[in-house]
Amino acid sequence: MIKDQSIPQAIALTLAQAIVLLAVSPAIVGLIKKVKARFQCRQGAGILQPYADLKKLFRKQPVVSTTTSWIFTATPYIVFASTVTAGLLVPIFVSQMPLNFAGNIIAFVYLLALGTFFLILAGLDAGSPFGGMGSSREAIVASLTEPAMIMAIFAIALTAGSTNLSTIVHRTALLEGIVTDPSPHLMALAAVFIVALAETGRVPVDNPATHLELTMIHEAMVLEYSGRYLALLEWASAIKLLVFLTLIANVFAPWGIATSFTPMALSIGLAVYLVKVAGLGLLIGTIECMFAKLRLFRITDLLGVAFILALLGLLFFYILRS
């Protein structure tokens, strides 16, 4: 696909994608918090509050524990880098990404795993029991989401005939060569949605607003961070959430995305994208208010359901043919 575009155009598109990721992600986090606040019958902070939080955190002086090593201060950069790189592989407002050749969904999943690995190490680095606890719990949750994600990916890849994200989105948007039976796609969508909730640390898997020892997973790993390191990690987690929402929106319902490079198509693509992720953010906020966080050992039940859903999607693809 890179042959269809010139190098400057490709670089411009990639940069634009990175800017959208960086700029929109705090707003999505703010939107979810606002939705939760309104459900709880209070005003809540503004949607743009996370931007102010980030700005504040960048300026603050970071405090680093004497027990830690260089892993601790390097991890925020590595997590940020791997999350943004994974985000560059997912089509956002253009269906034909210049970086399509660089990686497919498997590369996407493992890039995010790179961030998880270093975050687990950082949790252990400070030597506090909270960090170790968070790392241990994150390890088991990550272990159970991977098989479900891979099976769901396979089901999607079968219906679209490719594992490259741009190719899937482009083909689905143009409805070319797609098997039109909706059942496999729906099963895969349900599975990917549950996996997205688990990976981004949302209720019912993990509560992003808690700092109680009993309940935190992601928050426990970043507990010792402050200042610019915490800012990078918060931003990275917001970008991860946005990337998963983008994945769900654009792989399963990509209509509206720009399939050509005219300015009109690009602006429509961007507008439709913002509407879609805002809608998904609203949905997640609602789900967070409807359900309680599950006990750690009940999360296995939920992720088992996700795996079975993905497996069913695969079975339905092979069996249900007209």
Asked if the peptide bond before residue 204 counts as cis, ω within 30 degrees of 0, the response is: yes
Q: x/- binding map, residues 88-127, to other proteins, per CB under 8 A?
A: x----------xxxxxx-xx--xx-xx-xx--xx--xxxx
Nearer of residues 32 and 122 to other proteins, judged by Cβ: 122
Q: Which pair of structure tokens corresponds to residue 183?
A: 């059942």
Nearer of residues 289 and 315 to other proteins, judged by Cβ: 315
Strand partners, 103: none
Residue 118 CB, shortest distance to other proteins, in Å, is 9
Euclidean distance between CA atoms 89 and 175, whole angstroms: 21
Which of the residues 272 through 301 are near other proteins (CB under 8 A)?
296-297, 300-301
Euclidean distance between CA atoms 229 and 63, whole angstroms: 10
Euclidean distance between CA atoms 140 and 305, whole angstroms: 16
Phi-psi region of 113 (alpha: psi -120 to 50; beta: other; left: phi over 0): alpha
Residue 41 CB, shortest distance to other proteins, in Å, is 26
Q: For residue 194, which of 25, 296, 309 has the smallest C-alpha distance?
A: 309
CA atoms within 13 A on the CB side of 281: 27
Q: Is 253 in the site for other proteins (CB under 8 A)?
A: no
Q: Which stretch in 38-46, 55-63, 241-249, 286-294 sits in contact with other proteins by CB under 8 A?
A: 55-63
Which of the residues 124 through 153 are near other proteins (CB under 8 A)?
124-129, 131-133, 135-137, 139-140, 142-144, 146-147, 149-151
Candidates 76, 91, 208, 254; binder of other proteins (CB under 8 A) is 76
Q: Is 10 in the site for other proteins (CB under 8 A)?
A: no
Candidates 167, 172, 200, 237; binder of other proteins (CB under 8 A) is 167
Candidates 16, 37, 186, 266; binder of other proteins (CB under 8 A) is 186
Q: Is 224 in the site for other proteins (CB under 8 A)?
A: yes
Euclidean distance between CA atoms 287 and 33, whole angstroms: 12
Euclidean distance between CA atoms 315 and 322, whole angstroms: 14
Euclidean distance between CA atoms 55 and 1, whole angstroms: 38
Nearer of residues 247 and 272 to other proteins, judged by Cβ: 247
Residue 271 CB, shortest distance to other proteins, in Å, is 26
**Binders of other proteins: how many residues, by CB under 8 A?**
105
Candidates 16, 39, 62, 286; binder of other proteins (CB under 8 A) is 62
Q: Which pair of structure tokens corresponds to residue 303?
A: 């992720």
Q: For residue 206, which of 115, 83, 304, 292 has the smallest C-alpha distance?
A: 292
Residue 229 CB, shortest distance to other proteins, in Å, is 9
